[in-house]
Structure 1
Amino acid sequence: MRRYGIFLAAHAERYGYHSPGPNRSAAANHTYPDPVGDQIWSGQIAQTSDGRKVPTGGCSRESEDEMIDGVPRVEFLNTVQNLVMESASRVKTDSRAQAVTAKWSECMARSGYRYGDIWAAHDGNSETGSVTSMEIAVAKVDAACRLPPAARRLIQRI
């Protein structure tokens, strides 16, 4: 998932807040790939519905183990992921990011959608397995509100 959600109106119009995912035909039909796949990938379940054992740590851990077979483990293997998480946390408290979020919230409110931050809009509109017309409507406004004001005015004239 992209850290800051959607930016392209064309994506919002087709998928709402859902990711097209690896299953392109499912995305084209506005359905979300089976969430069990994510559980298998991450190892959140021990076996599949047809009884196949899921490797400890999931398929992601198994593939990682295969890729680094014979290579000494490095203590900082998750350093990049940790830095990504830390930077995301710091952005939330940055005054510049807070100002941008406030402007985005004001823009959304002008279209009748009241959200305190981008994730509130995303989370409240992508909880179902398939894309809804409400989700698409909110996502389209969201994508437009992320544009600079001059670009929004230009699009409104078109």
Structure 2
Amino acid sequence: MGKMKKKAFLVPALILMITSCSSSGDTPEGAGKQTPSGSDPSLVSTPLDAYVPSQQDTRALQRAEVTLVNRCLNRLGYAENPMPEPAIDKKRELHPEFLTFPVEQAEKRGYNPPLSQLDANEGGWDKRSSKTQQELLHGEVKVYGGMPVPEGGCVREAADRLTKGTKIPSKIVGQGFELNRKEQASPTGLGEAHVSVIRIEATSGAKRDRRMARVVEKWSNCMAGSGYRYQSIDEAASDDRWDGNQLSPLEAATAKADMACKRKVDYLRVAVAVQSDYEGRVIRKRKVELATLRSNIEKWVDNASEVLRG
């Protein structure tokens, strides 16, 4: 699993509203609740969050995918290593772009994500799959045990069933970042990934805003007062001295000081306010695309409900 710094602008990626005035003078469309000061981005929301599938909807899509994939494997006569239902994610991370988290986490993990967010697939079901199962999942053989394997495999069959009746873009673009959708891609994470790419456009603008420049300067001065010299938020999280998930005393101390300084200068409140402003602009600019995404998610969930009803 990579370090948090590597997903700072995303993602992918799943990840707001405000107390200070926006530079445009109006309230961003879809604005959420008032932002508390502190260091836990899970307690805030921004306008684009309204387009991310709810945890309940995501859970329904995941359960339906499991049902369809296992049904396909059983039809082909392959009963080993059935796809399990994923663990319930009680606290999902929608806003890694803020590079902000509780001081307690900084002490234990530095700039690494908490253990609960490490890739659940590491050593998991997919890694336990045999070569034969992988071939059936991805359609790498045409016939198995005398039974025709669906084109694209069981994964593609499940994806096609869940996305039936919707038109999904082949690629999603956000500020130079492009997400290409494979035909067999599952819709279980597609909605959140779509929003994450769009969010990059807002994040890019927010980073250049004068309000962010002022609060980052205050943060930098605070860090210097503790003996850590960084000019930007990303620079601290991306320090070359941080080595993967191997936490050093220096990284832990730096991350702890980082979070303390962000709290001191009210960084999260300002960052959420600015991000929300730019997300409101992006929503107005891409309203047709987002309306289509919302409609697609509703249809995917309806399809999932049909599958689960049997």
Query: TM-score, normalized by length of structure 2?
Result: 0.34
2:104 corresponds to 1:10: yes
* Count of residue correspondences: 128
Aligned to 1:148: 264
Shift of residue 4, structure 1, vs aligned partner: 1.3
What stretches of structure 1 of length at least 5 have no aligned partner?
Answer: 24-32, 38-46, 57-61, 151-158
Distance 1:135 1:67, change over 3 A: farther
Q: 1:86 to 1:134 in 2, by over 3 A?
A: same
The CA deviation string for residues 39-90 of structure 1, in whole angstroms up to 9 with x for no partner, is xxxxxxxx97x9855978xxxxx59936734242333766522321001100
Q: Deviations over 1:92-127 (max 9, x none)?
A: 110000111111111111111111111111111543
Label 1:122 to 1:51 Cα distance change in 2 as closer, same or farther (>3 A): farther
Aligned with 1:109: secondary structure? helix
Which structure has more helix as a fraction of its residues? Answer: 1
- Specify the structure having the higher radius of gyration (Cα): 2
1:153 — aligned with what?
none
Which 10-residue stretch deviates more, 110-119 or 73-82? 73-82
Secondary structure of 1:102's counterpart equals helix
CA distance in 1: counterparts of 2:130 and 2:229, whole angstroms: 45
Q: Which residue identity does 2:206 align to in structure 1?
A: V
Q: Structure 2 CA distance, aligned partners of 1:6 and 1:81?
A: 17
The reply on whether 1:136 has 2:136 as its aligned counterpart is no
Q: 1:130 to 1:95 in 2, by over 3 A?
A: same
The whole-number CA distance in structure 2 between the counterparts of 1:9 and 1:109 is: 18
1:67–1:106 CA distance, 2 compared to 1 (3 A)? farther
* Corresponding residue of 1:72: 166
TM-score by length of 1: 0.63
* Identity among equivalent pairs (%): 28
Tell me how large the CA RMSD over aligned residues is.
3.6
Q: Which residue of 2 aligns with 1:113?
A: 228
2:197 aligned with 1:82, yes or no? yes
Indicate how the Cα distance of structure 1 residues 66 and 112 shifts in structure 2: closer, same or farther if over 3 A, else same.
farther
Query: Which ranges in structure 2 are unaligned for 5 or more consecutive residues?
Result: 5-95, 139-154, 173-190, 267-310
**Structure-2 residue corresponding to 1:102:** 217
| Structure 1 pair 8–73 and aligned structure 2 pair: CA distance change class (3 A) | same
